[in-house]
């Protein structure tokens, strides 16, 4: 598939007029200039095609400050009137490298960046695309994160832990448009569907469907092939979002972390199974007012313990869900 798409791209380039070729060179030069403004990155950002117009780069498995911050995915869609980017990676340096990768495929301007959610590993590259004139689109709830002390503290922490790729010039970029209701737009003849998912994984989550290709960008609703990071997520809302995903007719799903899923429903089911199990086991303990340490030790984790990130994430995930289920039990009183 990669070779086929590369051949398509070569054929298109071979047919460029002289003026168009100059435009390509100009845009490539701009991308290189953007790259030079930021610290060099050594991690590979390998461009992976999902369809003829849809691509993504896959972050490496690891914690937030490993691999120069390259732990999450970002994608882009090429149309005849411009590029739509989905998420912007965890450092401006990575975003500048991603822009370079985009310019290896198309000279079209970056029109929009759709942000799945405002977590550090998905947003610190926004300033690079904003400098390109892109409109930043984000889910309702993003402003809650930007107004929080946590957002400021996280940036300060990353300016130390991910220096020089996140430095004193790295700043938070607010959205130009907030999405609170299902929204559709068309660019270059390609239809896009944006669906806000509420405060599920974060204070606000959003997925993007590229209609003609049947490709869904899910953000962190899906961590493909690994235990997800639950944090302070609302697992009730998260599971409802996964149910909505299963109703879609998809050819591929690009998650927030991990490889693109050629069997989207299988990827969705895996995340559903994990979250449902957490809620069932921790919910029963909360109802009986059993202490967390005891219930965690007696819970059978065998179906998940061989998955990547289990050791790093599972106990914290379980504890956060236990606290949430306690709160839900109190709501019912």
Domain CATH code at residue 126: 3.60.15.10
In a domain, 224, yes or no: yes
Report d(CA 105, CA 49) in Å as an integer.
Answer: 11
Residue 39: predicted pLDDT? 96
Is the residue at 233 inside a domain?
A: yes
Quote the CA–CA distance of 195 and 259 in Å, as a whole number.
22
Q: In this predicted structure, what is the pLDDT of residue 23? A: 44
Domain count, the chain: 1
Whether the CB-CB separation of 71 and 64 falls below 8 Å is answered with: yes
- What rounded mean pLDDT belongs to the chain? 89
Instruction: Give the confidence band of 21 by pLDDT, cuts at 50, 70, 90.
Output: very low
Residue 6 — pLDDT band, cuts 50, 70, 90? very low
> In terms of pLDDT, which residue wins out, 277 or 4?
277
Which pLDDT tens digit goes with each residue over 61-72? 888 999 999 999
Residue 280 lies in a domain: no
* Residue 126 backbone dihedrals phi, psi, to 5 degrees: -60, -35
- pLDDT of the residue at 44: 93
Angle 92-103/18-36 helices, nearest 10 degrees? Answer: 160
Instruction: Give the pLDDT score at 232.
Output: 82
The verdict on residue 159 lying in a domain is yes
- Using the predicted structure, report yes or no on whether residue 3 has a pLDDT greater than 80: no
pLDDT at 34: 52
pLDDT, average across residues 94-107: 97
Determine, yes or no, domain membership for 306: no
Structural contact between residues 66 and 60, judged by C-beta atoms closer than 8 angstroms: yes
pLDDT digits (tens, 9 = 90+) for 274-315: 999 999 999 999 988 899 999 999 999 999 999 988 998 999
Indicate whether 302 belongs to any domain. no
- So what's the pLDDT on residue 17? 39
Residue 147 placed within a domain: yes
Q: Residue 308: what pLDDT? A: 86
Q: What is the pLDDT of residues 243-271, one digit of tens each?
A: 999 999 999 999 999 999 999 999 999 99
**108: domain range?**
2-262
Asked if the model's pLDDT at residue 25 lies above 50, the reply is: no
With a cut of 90, say whether residue 35 has pLDDT above it: no
Query: Are residues 206 and 197 in contact, defined by beta-carbon separation less than 8 angstroms?
Result: yes
CB 52 within 8 A of CB 78: no
Contact 85, 75 (CB under 8 A): yes
Beta strands in 31-108, from DSSP E residues, in sequence order:
47-49, 54-57, 74-79, 82-86
**CA 113 to CA 108: how far, in whole Å?**
14
pLDDT band at 36 (very low <50, low <70, confident <90, very high): low
pLDDT, tens digit, 9 for 90 and up, residues 152-209 = 999 999 999 999 999 999 999 999 999 999 999 999 999 999 999 999 999 999 999 9
Percentage above 90 pLDDT, the chain? 80
Looking at residue 231, its pLDDT comes to 82
279 in a domain, yes or no? no
306-315 contacts at long range (C-beta below 8 A, 24 or more positions apart): 307/225, 307/226, 307/227, 308/61, 308/225, 308/226, 308/227, 309/61, 309/223, 309/226, 309/227, 309/229, 310/227, 312/63, 313/227, 313/228, 313/229, 313/230, 314/227
Question: How far, in Å, are 120, 145, 159, 203, 216 from residue 149 at the CA level?
Answer: 13, 8, 16, 14, 32
pLDDT greater than 90 at residue 32: no
């Amino acid at each position: 598939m990669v070779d086929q798409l590369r051949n398509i791209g070569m054929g298109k380039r071979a047919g460029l007029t002289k003026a168009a070729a100059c435009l390509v060179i100009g845009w490539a030069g701009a991308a290189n200039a953007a790259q030079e403004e930021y610290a060099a990155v050594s991690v590979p950002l390998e461009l992976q095609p999902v369809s003829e117009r849809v691509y993504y780069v896959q972050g490496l498995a690891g914690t937030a400050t490993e691999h120069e911050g390259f732990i999450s995915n970002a994608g882009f869609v090429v149309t005849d009137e411009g590029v739509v980017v989905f998420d912007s990676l965890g450092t401006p340096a990575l975003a500048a490298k991603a822009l370079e990768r985009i310019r290896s495929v198309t000279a079209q301007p970056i029109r929009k960046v759709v942000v799945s959610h405002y977590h550090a590993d998905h947003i610190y590259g926004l300033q690079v695309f904003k400098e390109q004139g892109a409109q930043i689109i984000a889910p309702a709830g993003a402003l809650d994160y930007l107004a929080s002390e946590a957002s400021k503290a996280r940036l300060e922490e990353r300016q130390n832990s991910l220096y020089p790729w996140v430095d004193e010039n790295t700043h938070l970029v607010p959205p130009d448009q907030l999405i609170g209701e299902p929204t559709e737009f068309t660019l270059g003849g390609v239809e896009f569907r944006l669906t806000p998912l509420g405060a599920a994984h974060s204070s606000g989550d959003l997925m993007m469907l590229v209609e003609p290709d049947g490709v869904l960008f899910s953000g962190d609703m899906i961590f493909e092939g690994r235990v997800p990071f639950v944090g302070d997520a609302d697992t009730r809302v998260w599971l409802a979002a996964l149910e909505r995903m299963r109703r879609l007719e998809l050819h591929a799903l690009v998650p927030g972390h991990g490889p693109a899923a050629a069997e989207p429903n299988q990827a969705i089911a895996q995340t559903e199974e994990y979250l449902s199990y957490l809620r069932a086991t921790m919910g029963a303990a909360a109802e009986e007012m059993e202490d967390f340490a005891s219930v965690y030790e007696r819970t059978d984790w065998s179906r998940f313990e061989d998955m990547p990130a289990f050791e790093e994430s599972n106990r914290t995930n379980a504890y956060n869900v236990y606290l949430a289920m306690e709160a839900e039990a109190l709501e019912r009183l």
